[in-house]
Amino acid sequence: MEPKTLILVGVVLILLAAATAAGQILRRRTALGLNPAALEAFGSRVRAWWLICAVVAGAFLVGKVATVVVIGLISFWALREFITLTPTRPGDHRALFWVFVLCTPLQYVLVGMGEEQYGLYSILIPVYAFLFIPARIAMAGDYKRFLERAAKIQAGLLICVYCFSYAAALLTLDLGENADPDANERLLFFFVVIVQLSDVLQYAWSKLPTKHVIVPTISPTKTWEGLIGGTVSAALVGAALAWATPFEQWWMAAVMSTVIALMGFAGSLTMSAIKRDRGVRDYGTLVEGHGGALDRIDSICFAAPVFFHLTRYYLTLVG
């Protein structure tokens, strides 16, 4: 393993340990009068962060293929949650069958095959599946709320499978001839660390005494203070980790981290809007005692495709 990789993993472990310790200490200090529910929410975010980082760190140990499979399984589970909470009609059954059994696995197989399949995996769902879904529903003959039903299934597949699969695609992105063997794994790790960190930091910054809520009807916890503070802190951390990435300039790593933080915000806001509309608090309400997979990955779903394509574009400009 490259020394750079070991240092990156070490830094993240220290950050995680610090966040966990901070949560524990604040919990003991009841004299500060902090809201226990807010501390609990912070704690659950940190726990999710441990889990996701452990999955990604597994990539260093067990190899790329196994990691693509694990990411694919998380994606599959997220799609189940999405469609379960989205009303469909019996006429959608056959279309859904192919969405689950063919489109989802195929996307991850193509991503796992790497750069030479880029031409196919980047359009498989937006072109082929996008057109297949309404056609198959039409074949079933049920036209009631047709457009709405087709759009729901398309959106679920695009968000939970297509967008999320770009996280796995970071592992097979061609980083050029000078890249060391761990470079792809480090890129994925960098991405996941920035997404999750900006999520936690946005939450932490939103606890400032002044609160300017951005969209009160959708998320009362997301404030301008949180968004700006979280994004700036994520950009600083990104700049400090630039040595671990393929970005040669520190400010480029900072720009990428800013984009990741903003897209992460957009993702979790969008998924909150969907949850509000469906009248549920989180996608995991079906599974007792667990947060849903989709609640944990909503920011990744939005940040991954944008980060992937910007990085790919950057590499063609530099290389």
Partner 1 sequence: MRNVRGNDPTGDSRGDSRGPTISDRIAQTILALTARFLSGASVRWIDCQPDTCQRVYFANHTSHLDAVVIWSALPAAIRVLTRPVAAADYWTAGRVRRYLSGRVFNALLIDRKEIKVHRSPIDMMIREMGDRYSLILFPQGGRSMGPEVGEFKSGLYYLCKKRPDLECVPVYLDNMNRILPRGEVLPVPLLSRICFGPPLWLEAGEPKSQFLGRARQAVQRLKEA
Q: How far is the CB of 40 from partner 1 (least distance, A)?
A: 22
Q: How far is the CB of 108 from partner 1 (least distance, A)?
A: 16
Q: How far is the CB of 141 from partner 1 (least distance, A)?
A: 13
- Taking the least distance from each CB to partner 1, the nearer of 177 and 288 is 288
- Taking the least distance from each CB to partner 1, the nearer of 88 and 221 is 88
Query: Which of positions 279-318 make contact with partner 1 (CB under 8 A)?
Result: 286-288
- By the rule CB under 8 A, 145 interacts with partner 1: no
- By the rule CB under 8 A, 80 interacts with partner 1: yes
Residue in 83, 201, 253, 294 binding partner 1, rule: CB under 8 A:
83
- Taking the least distance from each CB to partner 1, the nearer of 80 and 275 is 80
- By the rule CB under 8 A, 73 interacts with partner 1: no
- Taking the least distance from each CB to partner 1, the nearer of 74 and 204 is 74
- Taking the least distance from each CB to partner 1, the nearer of 24 and 84 is 84
Query: What is the bridge-based pairing of β-strands 219-223 and 213-215?
Result: antiparallel
Query: Which of positions 88-107 make contact with partner 1 (CB under 8 A)?
Result: 88, 90, 93-94, 96-97, 100-101
- Which region among 48-56, 85-93, 107-115, 121-129 touches partner 1 (by CB under 8 A)? 85-93
Q: How far is the CB of 290 from partner 1 (least distance, A)?
A: 9
Residue in 12, 49, 81, 137 binding partner 1, rule: CB under 8 A:
81
Size of the site for partner 1 (CB under 8 A): 15
- Taking the least distance from each CB to partner 1, the nearer of 96 and 167 is 96
CB 318 within 8 A of CB 248: yes
- By the rule CB under 8 A, 152 interacts with partner 1: no
Output the CA torsion 290→294→296→301 (10° steps). 170
Report the interface residues with partner 1, using CB under 8 A: 80-81, 83-84, 88, 90, 93-94, 96-97, 100-101, 286-288
